[in-house]
Copies of this chain bind each other. A is one copy, B any other.
Amino acid sequence: MTQKNDFSKNRLTKKSDNLSKWYHEVVNLADLATTSEVKGSMIIKANGYALWEKVQQILDVKFKEDGVKNYYFPLLIPYHLLKKEKEHLEGFSPELAVVTYAGGEKLKEPYVLRPTSETIMYRTFSDWIQSYRDLPLKINQWCNVIRWEKRTYPFLRTTEFLWQEGHTVHQTEKEAVDMALKALKWYQWFYEEYFALSPYLGLKSEQEKFAGAKTTYGIELVIPNGKSLQAATTHNLGDNFSKVFEITFLNNQRKKCYPFQTSWGLSTRSIGGLILIHGDDAGLILPPQVADPQVVILTVKGKNKSQNNKIQAQAEKIYSSLKENQFRVILDDDSKLSLGYRINEWEIKGVPLRIEIGEKEVQENKVKFARRDNFEKSFIPEHKIIETTRETLAAIQKNLLSQSKKIKKDLTVNVDNYEDFKKQAQAKKFIRAFWCGNKNCEEKIKEETKLTTRVLEMDRLNKKESGPCVYCGKKAQQKWLFAQSY
């Protein structure tokens, strides 16, 4: 919609020169989002929202297959409810937005805009749950949440963001842990299969866990600048909240018990990770599984009218045939803008596959394929277009995931002494090192290197290891992953 006639490739900062500047430019030029007059809130534009719709469609099916049902709870939380769980309140207090006037009157009790919905939901769960037959209760909600952030960044950290929050209630803590791990697997599956991103996943430290949780599991994305982006979390809440909100059930021996709970969420932040990891100097790169369109057909016309008609007819024919075969495709048959400009536009928007059709292609009964991920070009005979489109999109999806895995591998180092730790921290690496679990070591490391524990990786959770804590030298039993967090 914006005027881009002065656009050229040179307008985009090189990704490796200044990731932050590049990111803002891509978000803007690819029509993903834009800033608003509301402090720290972005406007999600069509291309950004289309990605969020894909996230919703994919995860929603997954949740429902598991028996999770969608509900909708109020945005406004009475302050006395939020206060009930002490850690939860402390964790969220600095970020709250508060409604004090409504309907022309000062409110007797202020309402808080939900930063997350545990308290408003669990107040009601106590009415809904009486017997073990009411369990498990599995609820999800797609909604907006508000957390007043000091420094904001489109998608990555905004005052208002969109997310889903799953909330479940179980008879036993084991069931709750299993549920938190299952949700973690869903998120991993989503990131790997759809966003083509290879995350770290594992347990959070006491310091980094969710306010009010017993344990938190996290999905961490490795950003090319060496920072870690927390891209989803799942929580075993234990019976913390059920005790506070007096949620009880009669078990099958008719004994009154407190149930065990989980919550888990993934937000529009995921889109920030996608942009940061897959983008390149030409702009956004979308994985075919979530790209819409997946394919853009470009007509390359000349001055010969009858040739141009043939090109147009051929392009329309291929467009229809791709559409019939369920590909998300659009036809760009613009004849006013230059070819270079048009190519730049589709590149910056990250469309995975571009098909060009000009005079030569029509004459020789073929088309030109151009991959967005590696700029590879090839000529495909007409009868092979469908098959090759399918193969190429699959290859792009696979290649993007491989690249993400490579970034992760290249940026992660094992370290066994603090000198090395500091060196690698300066080199912006993800560091795997023994840590004794002591909060003081964790805090000192953060102060001195800016690095925090990201996760204890899942495949190390039950591993028997032993070595000196990288900070204090005392005996440690697990290697944690450290990185600078977004």
Contacts and interface: CB of A to CB of B under 8 A. Distances in A.
Interface stretch (A89-97, A182-190, A323-331): A89-97
A444 B180 CA distance: 62
Interface SS of chain A: helix, strand, loop or mixed? mixed
A74 B160 contact: yes
Contact of A1 (B76, B129, B150): B129
Given A37-B123, A44-B71, A131-B3, A102 B111 contact: no
A70 B53 CA distance: 9
For this chain, the copies found in one complex come to 2
A375 interface: no
Interface string A125-151: 001111100100100000110101110
Nearest to A123: B37
Contact of A38 (B41, B97, B111): B111
B103 A95 contact: yes
Contacts of A3: 130-131, 134
Contacts of A402: none
Contacts of A76: 38, 41, 97, 146, 159-160
Contact of A150 (B50, B93, B103, B130): B103
Interface in A176-196: none
A45 interface: yes
Contact of A72 (B38, B43, B75, B94): B43
B104 A146 contact: no
A2 interface: yes
A304 interface: no
A69 interface: yes
Nearest to A139: B46
Interface in A98-133: 98-104, 110-111, 113, 120, 123-124, 127-131
Interface string A141-170: 001101011100000000110100000000
Contacts of A34: 124
Given A38-B76, A73-B36, A99 B102 contact: no
A241 B123 CA distance: 42
Given A2-B127, A38-B76, A97-B111, 8 more contacts: A34-B124, A41-B75, A49-B70, A76-B97, A99-B100, A100-B101, A101-B110, A103-B148
- Which 4 A-B residue pairings sit nearest by Cβ, starting from the closest? A103-B148, A41-B74, A46-B69, A44-B72
